[in-house]
Structure 1
Amino acid sequence: MAVLQMVLLLCVGISFAKDSCSTNVNIYAELEKLKNMDERIEKLEGTLDKVLSENVALKTTVQDSQNKLKSLQMENEAKKVAFSAGLLESGSGNTGPINTQKTLVYKKVFSNIGGAYDSNTGIFTAPRKGAYYFRFYGHCHGGTTMAVTLLKNGKTQCSLHSWKPASNSNASNGVVLTLETGDQISTQLWANTWVYDDPASYTSFGGFLLFPM
């Protein structure tokens, strides 16, 4: 009987030892899993920080690109300068003659891109420095004298002229000018001469920016 009890105790002890060893092995395995999980979390945190940093850099790049695009659009808009106008807004008739020079005010505006031409004064004011092209036309009837000058800041640049033609006469002239911001261009009818206009806009004035400088 005593021997049987010893055998049973021995078996129980062996079983307990096995269970204990098995428990220890599981604890080590779980600890190893936790360690691996910590390492993966650290890697994920590092990746997340990198992604967030790249996202901030991307937002900055996008904002810079938007600012540059806006600046280019504004610059492109500023380059759009062009106008064209006929002398009479409606009807027909002569302008002149009078005994002094007269600034011609072209009332029939076909286009005024950039708003640099003033139909109240007949004066074009350069909105920016650049090379500009201007063209002006005049028409007169037979037996009358026509003479028109293009002025830059009040100084003669070029003119057109027709002296008492036998029948109706047309004349035109054009010029490329380098203008500073604020320079003014206008046309002026000579004293004791006249020009004619009607809905066909025979007498007209126009110009545009070739390129900024």
Structure 2
Amino acid sequence: NQTAEIERLKKNEEVKRVALSAALTVKETSIFGPYNTLTHAVFKNVLTNVGNAYNGETGFFTAPVKGAYHFEVHILSPVGSGYTAGAALMKNGQRTFTAYESQTSNYQSSSNGVILVLEVGDRVSVSATPNSKIFDNQNNHSTFSGHLLFTM
């Protein structure tokens, strides 16, 4: 059936379109942390969610297809807080990389990026590292972004 084949191809092409970009907070000034242990952070201000793979209520990105995905995290920590600007990108609850900065005065920022091969259903999220403060406000300083590079 030609119509069914066209619909299958359309669906296949749609599932290849996956992109997310979210900031930590929606409108208010917010500071997340510090905590004594690695603590899951929910980036609630969802700016882009093509493919609906990211859940702004839970903070988890769930891979809809097997493929290579690129993720970035950018963190800002408050001025003179005495805490670090640290975050870990987690894959299925395991740390894959860390963004980290520590200084005694002024705002501090950290960022990192990674390409991960994900299976269908793998979950990616961000956690604050111990003794970190993550700052955000309506200017979207602290963000979590990712997109599908290609399917496999």
**Equivalence map 1:54-133=2 (5 Å):** 63-64=1-2, 66-133=3-70
1:180 equivalent to 2:119? Answer yes
- SS for the counterpart of 1:202 is coil
What whole-Å deviation, never above 9, does each CA across 1:87-142 have from its counterpart, x for those lacking one? 00111131111222211101100011111111111111101100101011000123
1:152 equivalent to 2:91? Answer yes
What whole-Å deviation, never above 9, does each CA across 1:157-213 have from its counterpart, x for those lacking one? 111111134211221110010000010101110122111101111001011111111
Distance of 1:139 and 1:165 partners within structure 2: 14
What whole-Å deviation, never above 9, does each CA across 1:2-53 have from its counterpart, x for those lacking one? xxxxxxxxxxxxxxxxxxxxxxxxxxxxxxxxxxxxxxxxxxxxxxxxxxxx
Q: Which runs of 5+ in 1 are unaligned?
A: 1-62
Q: Tell me which amino acid in the other structure corresponds to 1:127.
A: P
Give the percent of matched residue pairs that are identical in Structure 1 and Structure 2. Answer: 36
TM-score, structure 1 as length reference: 0.67
Q: Is the 8 A contact 1:141 1:167 kept in 2?
A: yes
Q: 1:137 aligns with which of 74, 84, 91?
A: 74
| CA-atom RMSD in angstroms | 1.3
Distance of 2:104 and 2:60 partners within structure 1: 29
> Structure 1 or 2: larger helix share?
1
Q: Which runs of 5+ in 2 are unaligned?
A: none
- SS for the counterpart of 1:99 is coil
TM-score, structure 2 as length reference: 0.93
**Which residue of structure 2 lines up, in the alignment, with residue 208 of structure 1?**
147
- SS for the counterpart of 1:199 is coil
- SS for the counterpart of 1:127 is coil
Q: Is the 8 A contact 1:84 1:207 kept in 2?
A: yes
> Structure 1 or 2: larger strand share?
2
Larger radius of gyration: 1
Distance of 1:195 and 1:185 partners within structure 2: 19
Count of matched residue positions in the alignment of Structure 1 and Structure 2: 150
Q: Is the 8 A contact 1:142 1:164 kept in 2?
A: no
Structure number with greater CO (CA < 8 Å, separation at least 6) is 2
- SS for the counterpart of 1:106 is coil
Q: Is the 8 A contact 1:140 1:169 kept in 2?
A: yes
